[in-house]
């Protein structure tokens, strides 16, 4: 491994910060996601969609719900303690995000909240003091709810300039802390909470791709501005990579699988890395009656402002069949089952070899530096009578995926970083649970926000610390 290789972790503002009522923060989409004690862990995707009626009922009856992300893990107040633990762990980079509604409570204001900006600067100074590099995601799977109720979400081109005002403010104020940026996290995830589209809208699929287009334009406006401010700024596209194998060698399954991987993954990278809509999208749009409203100026902006590196999340894989087949959970969406793979409590199929395949495929197609910005496993962690947390399954998962990454590097793939999700327990994005834990550091809180919120080092903490020390000794 190269000495400058980035070993680290990722968190997001909405899942970690809490402090939802400080500095006049506005309501984001994630502030309205509630904990459901009867959740079907192996089918969380149904909770990612929304109707206007359901949204109104939640807003009008907020006292009837518990909203876990409003408290998060209280990183907003405990950041010094947490960063000290990150330093002890030995990571040299952390990716985090800025809460849009802290800087612009409604999303359409002209001026940003200076108190929130100054608080972020205090946090980032502590990272700088501890020599932990920052990668900043400008928008991480959330948006001000006002931009949905007032403007209709990302299908409205007005959001391009609202986002740009936010992104410009972030770049202007925090460029002294980082030169690596991610305009949108997991750009390919199409849910109400990322695009602001209600599931019962007319022409839903067409509006989804219009929303994606508007995000492409917004991202490229941010890149264009960021490069003018500092030519050393690097921007990475980030998708949630959901790789799929053909269920069988039936050529119909192979063909369907090829098309699914194009549309779910490569479509977004082709636009953000190659700067143009891919050839196969023409048929897909025609078959699905999708008509994107894209101006020549917007397409030129996309062409002239491609991303510098590819970052992606990788958790599990699935299978594809041209016929109905048994499914299981695959992070945010259901995928076909693979009898050769083990699954975790939430139905995720564990596939280290898939990571090696994805890395090789991405590098072969795009020849851009690759960064794994999310890789990890959600587990039920228990504190034993001695106060220890033995999470061997997490150690096994991480170590096997790191080995697969190293094998890809030996294959000739340029990988510049491995950031696990997440160095510390945070509220689950998909299921709103604290009990779905990913971290090397345990946070003493349950699904209803009850607990001391004390931090406890797991067995995996000491394992990863030792692993990083040995890695650096060998370089």
Q: In the predicted model, what is the mean pLDDT of the chain? A: 94
Distance CA 412, CA 466 (A): 27
Q: What is the mean pLDDT of residues 233-260?
A: 95
CATH of 6-473, one of 1.10.10.10, 1.10.15.40, 3.40.50.300, 3.20.20.80: 3.20.20.80
Q: Give the pLDDT band (50/70/90) at residue 332.
A: low
> What radius of gyration do the chain's Cα atoms show?
21
What pLDDT, on a 0 to 100 scale, did the predictor assign at position 344?
A: 77
Strand residue runs (E) in 143-233: 180-184
Please state, in angstroms and rounded to a whole number, the distance separating the CA atoms of residues 275 and 293. 17
Q: Is the dihedral of CA 146, 149, 151, 152 positive or negative?
A: positive
**Tens of pLDDT, residues 372-393:** 999 999 999 999 999 899 999 9
Closest to 242 (Cα-Cα) out of 261, 257, 256: 261
Residue 336 has a pLDDT of 81
Distance CA 166, CA 157 (A): 15
Does the annotation mark 374 as catalytic?
A: yes
Has 186 been annotated as catalytic? yes
| Distance, CA of 421 to CA of 400 (rounded, Å) | 15
Catalytic pick among 17, 206, 298, 374: 374
Which of 17, 186, 206, 433 does the annotation list as catalytic? Answer: 186
- Joined tokens for residue 438: 């990913």
Q: Where are the alpha helices (DSSP H) in 19-90?
A: 52-60, 75-89
- 376 and 438 Cβ atoms separated by less than 8 Å: yes
What is the pLDDT confidence band of residue 37, given thresholds at 50, 70 and 90? confident
Q: What is the pTM for the complete model shown? A: 0.94
pLDDT at 419 over 70: yes
Q: CA–CA separation, 94 vs 127, rounded Å?
A: 9
pLDDT band at 44 (very low <50, low <70, confident <90, very high): low
Indicate if the pLDDT at residue 455 is higher than 60.
yes
- What's the angle, vertex CA 168, arms to CA 163 and CA 171, rounded to 5? 125
Whether residue 427 contacts residue 15, with contact meaning beta carbons closer than 8 Å, is answered with yes
Say what the pLDDT of residue 2 is.
Answer: 78
Of residues 132, 8, 140, 19, the one with CA closest to residue 75: 19
**333: pLDDT confidence band, cut at 50, 70 and 90?**
low
pLDDT at 3 over 80: no
What residues contact residue 287 under an 8 Å CB cut-off, 6+ apart? none
**pLDDT per residue over 198-232, tens digit each?**
988 999 999 999 999 999 999 999 999 999 999 99
């Amino acid at each position: 491994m190269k000495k400058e290789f980035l070993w680290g972790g990722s968190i997001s503002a909405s899942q970690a910060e809490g402090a939802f009522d400080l500095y006049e923060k506005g309501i984001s989409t994630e502030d309205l996601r509630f904990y459901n004690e009867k959740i079907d862990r192996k089918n969380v995707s149904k909770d990612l969609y929304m109707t206007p009626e359901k949204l109104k009922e939640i807003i009008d009856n907020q006292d009837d719900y518990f909203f876990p992300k409003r408290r998060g893990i209280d990183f907003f107040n405990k950041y010094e303690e947490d960063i000290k633990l990150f330093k002890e762990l030995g990571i040299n980079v952390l990716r985090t995000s800025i809460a849009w509604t802290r800087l612009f409570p409604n999303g359409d204001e002209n001026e940003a909240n200076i108190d929130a900006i100054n608080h972020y600067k205090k946090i980032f100074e502590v990272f700088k003091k501890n020599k932990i590099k920052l990668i900043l995601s400008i928008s991480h799977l959330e948006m001000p709810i006002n931009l949905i109720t007032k403007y209709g979400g990302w299908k409205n081109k007005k959001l391009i300039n609202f986002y740009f005002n936010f992104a410009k403010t972030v770049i202007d104020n925090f460029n002294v802390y980082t030169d690596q940026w991610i305009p949108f996290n997991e750009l390919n995830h199409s849910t109400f909470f990322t695009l602001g589209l209600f599931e019962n809208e007319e022409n839903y699929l067409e509006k989804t791709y219009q929303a994606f287009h508007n995000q492409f334009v917004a991202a490229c406006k941010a890149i264009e501005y960021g490069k003018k401010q500092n030519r050393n700024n690097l921007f990475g596209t980030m998708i949630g990579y959901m790789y799929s194998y053909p269920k069988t060698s039936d050529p119909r399954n192979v063909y369907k699988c090829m098309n699914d991987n194009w549309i779910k993954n490569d479509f977004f990278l082709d636009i953000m890395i190659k700067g143009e809509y891919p050839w196969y999208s023409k048929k897909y749009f025609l078959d699905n009656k999708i008509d994107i409203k894209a101006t020549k100026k917007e397409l030129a902006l996309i062409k002239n402002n491609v991303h510098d590196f590819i970052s992606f999340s990788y958790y599990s894989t699935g299978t594809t069949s041209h016929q109905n087949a048994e499914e299981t959970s695959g992070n945010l969406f259901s995928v076909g089952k693979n009898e050769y793979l083990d699954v975790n409590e939430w139905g995720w199929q564990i596939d280290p070899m898939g990571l090696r395949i994805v890395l090789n495929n991405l590098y072969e197609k795009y020849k851009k530096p690759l960064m794994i910005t999310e890789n990890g496993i959600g587990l039920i962690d228990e504190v034993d009578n001695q106060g220890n947390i033995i999470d061997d399954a997490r150690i096994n998962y991480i170590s096997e995926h790191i080995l697969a990454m190293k094998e890809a590097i030996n294959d000739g793939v340029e990988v510049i970083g491995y950031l696990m999700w997440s160095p510390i327990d945070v509220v689950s994005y998909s299921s709103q649970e604290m009990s779905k834990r990913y971290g090397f550091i345990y946070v003493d809180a349950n699904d209803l926000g009850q607990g001391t919120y004390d931090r406890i080092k797991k067995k995996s903490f000491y394992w990863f610390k030792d692993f990083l020390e040995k890695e650096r000794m060998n370089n």
